[in-house]
Amino acid sequence: MQKLLPWFMWVFPLAFFAFQFILRLFPGLVISEFFAKYHIGATDYGLFASLYYLGYASMQIPVALLLDKIGPRIVISLSALLCAFSTWLLVVSPSWELALLSRFLIGVGSVVGFLGTSKIISQWFPQNRYAQLVGLSFSFGLLGAVYGGRPVSFMIDQLGWQEVAQLLSITALALGVLTFLFLRGKSTPQEEQYPVVKSLRQLFSYKPLIILAFANLLMVGALEGFADVWGVSYLINAKQITKGEAAGITSYIFIGMLFGGPILGFFAEKFKAHHNVILIAGLGMSLLLMLVLAFHAHLSTYALMVVMFLTGILCCYQVVVFATGAQLVPIHLMGITIALLNCINMFGGSFFHWSIGLIMDYCDPNTLVNGVRTYSLDAYTYALCLIPVCSMLGAGLVYCSKRAQANFVVKVAT
């Protein structure tokens, strides 16, 4: 029984980590419903979707500190309850402003999913199993993203989006209560503490790291712009298919991500070419999405699934970004480096969602059908072109980071 206890403790943060992916993807399944309820356009909806990432990014470092200070049991429980309250608020609120607040708070609550899981692994498992279990946790978490697509879309069609949101709120409440009742932390040797502000100031002096961080921001569009929200509505418009079919096709990006981490990590380590792997991934994502935008009429459903699957593999370049960033800093800064990279990465989600909505409204400003905003395929296409363009720019920054790292190493050596 004692051997099973660590696995039992791991289940609770892992369940919440997978669940928060469903909350993250939910807006992409209810765009038309929100247009009708709140009488908004794509810019407003892009702002709504982006607030999740803003809340998620802004709380990366504070939540990491809280996990150290008061432990994962309390932090994960309160985060789950916050998600429950915020999702319920989204259902009952007639106000667009409260809907925006709800989305921001869901992002704040979701941030503990991965951080809390990592903390429990570090407390309950041997150090030599940490990397293996973090990777396994990420794979299980992505199953939440896979099942948060077509199955949840089917439930929305059958029950209505408000009823599904109520079920999600109840699920979050149950996860919070169960975590509080059963999860226990475990004392670990205290590591030397470094001031957060001083550590961040030191990180911003590492030019190769900062360039890499902003390259990462520019390259997240395929995942956080297309897969998370806008991809489903684009495919409905472009292929004239149902919401469930579009969500099923888009979910292949997350299926690809189940395999992408080990594959890209292997090539990066095998050939000692971390920057090159990231650069190739950025260019590859750009080419694949341009293929979809330019030739969607000629791509069958199966071809689209293959393209999404390959895109998902390349989206795991972020694993290599984290590994590269960790190599650029002293060991005592590794934790805060990962938090900073993930923070800037999630700001990319805010940038893409709001910008895509803004471009859609600019391209197709006044189309109404039964009083509800609708958009042409051209508006979707022009807006989503932002993703491959930024991905190519990000690949260029990766090359600049590689050059800057070479110069940085020379300066340190001298």
Structure tokens given for 223: 């995942």
Q: Do both 61 and 163 map to the same domain?
A: yes
Q: Do both 282 and 174 map to the same domain?
A: no
End-of-domain residue from the set 117, 152, 183? 183
> Which pLDDT score is estimated for 411?
46
CA gap 286, 302 in Å, rounded = 20
Q: Do both 255 and 214 map to the same domain?
A: yes
Listing DSSP states for 25-65 in one string gives HGGGGSHHHHHHHHT--HHHHHHHHHHHHHHHHHTHHHHHH
Q: Is the pLDDT of residue 188 over 70?
A: no
> Which pLDDT score is estimated for 409?
53
CA gap 164, 168 in Å, rounded = 6
Q: Do both 171 and 287 map to the same domain?
A: no
CA gap 231, 235 in Å, rounded = 6
Answer whether residue 188 is part of any domain: no
End-of-domain residue from the set 151, 183, 215? 183
Q: Is the pLDDT of residue 129 over 70?
A: yes
Q: Is the pLDDT of residue 412 over 80?
A: no
* Total domain count, the chain: 2
Q: Do both 256 and 145 map to the same domain?
A: no
Structure tokens given for 334: 């590794």
Q: Do both 178 and 273 map to the same domain?
A: no
> Which pLDDT score is estimated for 408?
62
- Cβ-contact 14, 117 below 8 angstroms: yes
> Which residues fall within 8 angstroms of residue 119, CB to CB, at 6 or more apart?
13, 67, 72
CB atoms closer than 10 angstroms to residue 345: 24
pLDDT, tens digit (0-9, with 9 covering 90-100), for 337-355 = 878 888 899 999 999 999 9
| Phi, psi for 372 (deg, rounded to 5) | -115, 135
- Cβ-contact 216, 394 below 8 angstroms: yes
Answer whether residue 72 is part of any domain: yes
CA gap 253, 238 in Å, rounded = 18
Q: Do both 1 and 144 map to the same domain?
A: yes
Under the banding of pLDDT at 50, 70 and 90, the label for residue 414 is very low
Q: Is the pLDDT of residue 217 over 90?
A: yes
pTM of the model: 0.88
Q: Is 374 left (phi over 0), alpha (psi -120 to 50) or beta?
A: beta
Beta bridge partners of 372: 369
Q: Do both 146 and 289 map to the same domain?
A: no
For the domain that residue 337 is a member of, what is the CATH number? 1.20.1250.20
CA gap 132, 127 in Å, rounded = 10
Q: Do both 160 and 206 map to the same domain?
A: no
pLDDT, tens digit (0-9, with 9 covering 90-100), for 64-94 = 888 888 989 999 999 999 999 999 999 888 8
Under the banding of pLDDT at 50, 70 and 90, the label for residue 135 is confident
Structure tokens given for 396: 């260029």
Q: Do both 227 and 165 map to the same domain?
A: no
Q: Do both 213 and 323 map to the same domain?
A: yes
Answer whether residue 179 is part of any domain: yes
With tokens 């059963």, the residue in question is 182
Answer whether residue 377 is part of any domain: yes
End-of-domain residue from the set 163, 183, 203? 183
Give the range of the structural domain holding residue 284, as residue numbers without chain letter: 194-414
Answer whether residue 216 is part of any domain: yes
CB atoms closer than 10 angstroms to residue 99: 21
Answer whether residue 244 is part of any domain: yes
